[in-house]
Amino acid sequence: MRTPLVSLRHVSVSYDGHEALQGVDLDIYSDDFLGIIGPNGGGKTTLVKAIVGNVPYRGTITYSQELYRGGERLIGYMPQLSVFDRSFPISVLEVVLSGLQGQKGLFSRYTAKDRRHAEALLEEAGIAELARRPIGEISGGQMQRAMLCRAVISEPKLLILDEPTNFVDNRFENELYRMLTELHKRMAIVMISHDLGTITSVVQSIVCVNQRVYRHDSNVITEEQLRNYDCPIQLISHGKIPHTVLGPHDAEDASCCDCH
């Protein structure tokens, strides 16, 4: 029997009397590549914040010993860009290096090896020339790339990304998914996305979140399953891209059409 990296049992989270998550049971394994979908306000971000320890919760979250290096929990987290203060006087390289604070502590000095590692990640992300640029002078898409580098510099066993394709162009979105496919060879990945049509071509399993959580161990999910999971979502695409439009999650009104 496999041991999960992270195991959630009966986890609930409330904000100001509103229950954002209710009775969540979920296991995340070392070979997982999970896509988290669900409606706005359904609890997707709250779920990953509970996993990384950023919000109080009721219930139990258990972490495998595989997730630890000494006292450091090996979880890389890339939050939504809006939570990061772009006015803070720090360079792109320093943003990436700050992902090592869990290993080194807040006031430790970074080594030449650390800096070479950070620079190599920036090179892979296509923004090496911005290493010394203040973060207030770069675009949202460039900042997303830097934040991904920050999330993986500590070589985590679990990488969690919250809407990583926000503010990026189509070219980097494709490059991001290529990078994630490579990263998945050495770490589990959990990714929140509103773009069901794109992530189903990348992830292995789908997790629907709408206060409650339903894991679907496939990257193919049907309208009927979404309805059964009480997981209303909207699929958005631009241009002449084949896609599927799902109707309301009401048995009498549900409809599906292919648009080309």
Annotated domain spans of the chain: 1-74+156-234, 86-154
Assign 140 a pLDDT band (cuts: 50, 70, 90). Answer: confident
Nearest one of 120, 259, 132 to 197, comparing CA atoms = 259
Q: Which residues, 6+ apart, have CB-to-CB distance to 231 below 8 Å?
A: 37, 38, 39, 42, 208, 209, 210, 214, 249
pLDDT given for residue 217 in this prediction: 87
- Give the residue-averaged pLDDT of 101-106: 71
- Provide the 3-class DSSP secondary structure of residue 83: helix
Which of 8-12, 44-48, 217-221, 242-246 comes out lowest in average pLDDT?
A: 242-246
Which of 101-115, 134-148, 224-238 comes out lowest in average pLDDT?
A: 224-238
Which of 61-65, 126-130, 149-153, 162-166 comes out lowest in average pLDDT?
A: 162-166
The pTM score is 0.83
Provide the CATH topology of domain 1-74+156-234. Rossmann fold (3.40.50)
| Mean pLDDT over each residue of the chain, to the nearest integer | 83
Query: How many Cα atoms occupy the beta-carbon half-sphere of 76 within 13 Å?
Result: 29
